[in-house]
Structure 1
Amino acid sequence: MQTNRLCYGLGSSEGTTSIYDLPPELLLIIFDHLYRDSRSGDNQDCFSITTNSQPPSFWFPYALAAVCDEWRALLALNSGYWTRICVCIDEPSWDISTLAEEIQWSKELPIDLSVVASRNVNAVISPDVESARVVSIMRILPSFAHRCTALRFDLRALPVLPLLSGTAAPSVKTLELGCQASRMGNLDPSIMIPFSCPKLETLILGGPNVIIACRSGWLASLMATNWTLYNYSPPNNEREAIEEADTILHALSTIREDSSLTIREMNLDCSASTNTPYSIHVETLILEDLSAQTVACLLRNIDFSGGGIESIRLSRCGLPELASLSSCSLTLQEMPEDQDISEFLRCWNGSHVAVVACPGFTDTSIKMLSQPFFYSLVSIFEVIECFNVSVDAVKCFVKAWSDAQYQDPALDYEEEETKTLVLSRAETDTKAGIDAVWFDGIPLIYHIQ
């Protein structure tokens, strides 16, 4: 524990006042302010181990508790400070007694527990040490699992899901099980005993935890509606890779229809599978950092019947050739420059499309969309931060889009139908800068963001 006396000059040059001269009442006021700030809406991302870039030692109250023994003792008096408990599993001095002490300080309040391995290559511990420390946590977890509203694990090489087998966590709403290793050999499909969390709303699975959960059939028992799978790599053997893709798709077909499903940094190949595609029903689908092959594998198994799903977002993905794609809303974000966005949109059936920060979306792309198939479907068209599309090309598109409503009866437009264009190219754009007078004369709602 750090006990160095930090002194600051506070006014007079005749002496210094130590920070330790502050009365406990004033320190508690400062701590309360920092506590509220750490729980504010602007800082909610820090609760997720998948989005927080800062090490746990920077999180409240750990940064303060590390200053000195006096501060740590004062922080220990407020049980509310310890409702979010973090374990950095590869700290050299960490011991299970530290966690037990912090659990005691939380009294009987709900707990958000994070167990993480540092991504600092200089902080590596052996797999055996990591395993031993995690096992020690699992031994005491049943004593406070009933108070956990969130459990988050992000380990270096250990899939934690099997270690949770048979545990009951009746209050858990968020479960994050990450692993920095994307794959481990010799995974036993029978090692998973159901982990009970009847109130689960958000499930995030990474690395080997993905295939372990899918093999076990455990996902079918969950009522979660917010799903994320990431950082999975298939085996090198082609037959085994196809079998695992089949297992994952089957598991996804069991999730609730009102769910949001995010898949990122995964590699699936079901192109050689002879099985009938699975029917995956979701309300929102988000695909990030995937190959065209993986995107095709997933989209071929999405159920687009009954008008399709509510929304699809593809970010930094390869775009496959598809026969059809149905969703009310489609967003293409940060797509690689070599991807043919306009051709991909030809297979899409929906009313709201957004193209965001795509350098490959050019004047040629928007010209290719100046066709009846696009005009007849799209009510809202957003072009955001696509700097290779000129205003002149947009004006040509808008003129044709507007004229189509009144000049082509085959499109069967209703008189009251409203078309909306949202164009945002840079912070310096203004209506005057892109000829707002011309746009205002067109019967469309036009926005500059």
Structure 2
Amino acid sequence: MPMIHDLPMELLSRIFFFLYMKSRKEVRMMRIILDTPEDDILGKTEWADKDPRSLALFPHAQAKVCQHWLNVLSTHAIFWDRVIFDLREDPTRMLDSLRWSKDLPLEIFAFNSSPFPNPQHDNFQAQRDAVALELSRFQALMVVCTPHIKRCTSVVLEAMYPTSLSPCSLFLQSHCKPSDLCTLMLTSVRAANPPSPLAAVNPSSDPPSSLPPLVQYQSLKLLCLDASVFMSFGRMFKGRENDIASHRGCLMVSRYIFHYDKNGAFDGPFTVDDFLDCIEKMGPEYITLRDLLVQGPHDEQPTLEPPAYFYPFSTPALLFENVSAPLLSAYFDRFPLEDESVKFKFCDIPAVPKGCMVWCYFLTLENIPASTDLRGLLNSWDGGELTVKNCPCFDDSLLSWLARDPGHVPRLRSLEIENCNSFTMKRLRKLIRLRTREPDSSSTSEEDGDFAYINTLFVCGDNYSLTAEELSWFKSHVDAWFTTSQHFLYIPL
């Protein structure tokens, strides 16, 4: 009786096709369902498991069993339209998988699953060796990858060190013609830190002597870059702003520490102005800025935790997460805060310059520290729905400020508060009383001139206990929900 490793090629192929179909799910888009031929498996289905780090992904898990299985799997092009490399290991054995999909559209995902921080890299020489090893593996991958870029729909490279990342111009220059590229992500776990001796220049990032023009990449929906890669890209095309101003999708830039000395000069290859210049040149439709810090000469060395966000994700808003107040202030001076939705997370938010407005209907504030005076932001906000989560700065003094003058946030209609323990129900009740119509008011209008009335209130948390009379009062004035945090959201008490 043959062992499973020795099964005939025809039988193994049938087993693998069964596993392939079990790993796919139907696409739920009516246009694709109607316009795609019935026998087009790739067109009508997509990979069910979107986590490229999963150890059970087909066909990558099966390809590790033995060489015989790998040989059989490699003969079926439709198995390999998504190739994945964990560069914690030597990628040489699987580099040929990039050509097994033949001319099919291709997704490439490469990452490094090494632990961070790695206890084996306690000394400087061990860290240098780790940087050099990862760089060599990414470079080996990119040599084989480059001829296939023109048919890629998604390229995601997540390095441990930013010096391992290829320049994004490699994927966006016209000789590659990536007309179908929808997602390009070049990110790292460790932030670029210019004074560090580990932040050596990656030779592959040096600008070439002559640059072909960039393609018109209308299909690109998500461009996610380390800030160092992003600024290198902008510097490479300095003076050729028209070449990079065609992007109208989502731009995500992350993980950089700007240093400046006692004279106010930046110590490193890039300044905050360099960074903002790049954003201005790119002119994206949506922006997310994450983990961007400014360190003064006497400031404690900042640290950035490994990113907690994973692919795939979208950016449906103007989002600032863990961005230093000086950088936010510089951003406010250069760009309008204008979008349908604006979010701040883990930011000490400075005041918006006088005369500038925050033009968004939805404003979300999450994990904003007690040191932030939200009046500096809310005084310039012209929106209707405010969501506040885990913000100690949302306190009685702020509620009193909102209640004192109808001109403060005049269009506020909906207020959602989650796990904010610095305010009292007495102050919240006063705000609702002053910013809503009396229950017996004969007018049904929700707005008087430029002033709007609050009509929806949602409060969630463990420390909010209301009497029956208080709950009845709130519900008689607004559509109100009060829940405890362990309950599902939006379930009234």
Q: What TM-score comes out, normalization by structure 2 length?
A: 0.68
Deviation at 1:77, TM superposition (A): 5.0
Deviation at 1:400, TM superposition (A): 1.3
Partner SS, residue 343 of structure 2: strand
Deviation at 1:234, TM superposition (A): 2.6
Q: Which moved more, 1:121-130 or 1:331-340?
A: 121-130
Structure 2 match to 1:374: 408
Q: 1:113 aligns with which of 108, 112, 126?
A: 108
Q: What residue ranges of structure 1 are gaps of 5+ in the alignment?
A: 7-21, 48-54, 271-281
Instruction: Check if 1:287 corresponds to 2:320.
Output: yes
CA distance in 2, matches of 1:241, 1:77: 53
CA distance in 2, matches of 1:430, 1:26: 59
Deviation at 1:229, TM superposition (A): 0.5
Q: 1:298 to 1:446 in 2, by over 3 A?
A: same
Structure 2 match to 1:203: 223
Structure 2 match to 1:161: 167
The 5 Å alignment of 1:356-375 reads 356-371=389-404, 372-374=406-408
CA distance in 2, matches of 1:174, 1:143: 18
Q: 1:263 aligns with which of 274, 278, 289?
A: 289
The 5 Å alignment of 1:219-234 reads 220-234=244-258
Deviation at 1:436, TM superposition (A): 4.2
Number of matched pairs: 402
The 5 Å alignment of 1:9-158 reads 25=14, 28-36=17-25, 44=50, 46=51, 55=53, 57=55, 59-69=57-67, 72-73=70-71, 75-76=73-74, 78-91=76-89, 93-95=90-92, 97-100=93-96, 102-120=97-115, 121=118, 126-155=130-159, 156=161, 157-158=163-164
Q: Which moved more, 1:212-221 or 1:260-269?
A: 212-221
Structure 2 match to 1:15: none
Structure 1 match to 2:476: 441
Structure 1 match to 2:234: 214
Q: What TM-score comes out, normalization by structure 1 length?
A: 0.74
Q: 1:349 to 1:136 in 2, by over 3 A?
A: same
Q: What residue ranges of structure 2 are gaps of 5+ in the alignment?
A: 6-10, 28-44, 122-126, 194-198, 297-314, 483-489
Q: 1:70 to 1:436 in 2, by over 3 A?
A: farther
Instruction: Check if 1:176 corresponds to 2:176.
Output: no
Amino acid aligned to 2:363: L
Cα pair 2:289 2:319 within 8 Å, conserved: yes
The 5 Å alignment of 1:208-357 reads 208-217=228-237, 220-236=244-260, 238-240=264-266, 244-256=271-283, 259-267=285-293, 284-303=317-336, 308-322=338-352, 323=354, 324-328=356-360, 329-342=362-375, 344-357=377-390
Amino acid aligned to 2:345: S
Structure 2 match to 1:279: none
Deviation at 1:113, TM superposition (A): 0.5
Amino acid aligned to 1:141: C
CA distance in 2, matches of 1:236, 1:37: 53
Cα pair 2:251 2:286 within 8 Å, conserved: yes
CA distance in 2, matches of 1:388, 1:37: 48
Q: 1:401 to 1:235 in 2, by over 3 A?
A: closer
Q: 1:175 to 1:346 in 2, by over 3 A?
A: same
Structure 1 match to 2:436: 402
Q: 1:29-51 deviations in whole A, cap 9, x for unaligned?
A: 3443234499879854x36xxxx
CA distance in 1, matches of 2:436, 2:336: 33
CA distance in 2, matches of 1:108, 1:318: 49
Cα pair 1:313 1:332 within 8 Å, conserved: yes
Deviation at 1:61, TM superposition (A): 3.3
The 5 Å alignment of 1:381-396 reads 381-396=415-430
Q: 1:5 to 1:369 in 2, by over 3 A?
A: farther
Structure 1 match to 2:41: none
Q: Which moved more, 1:63-72 or 1:223-232?
A: 63-72
Partner SS, residue 253 of structure 1: helix
Amino acid aligned to 1:159: L
Cα pair 1:61 1:75 within 8 Å, conserved: yes
Deviation at 1:327, TM superposition (A): 1.9
Deviation at 1:391, TM superposition (A): 3.7
Structure 2 match to 1:16: none
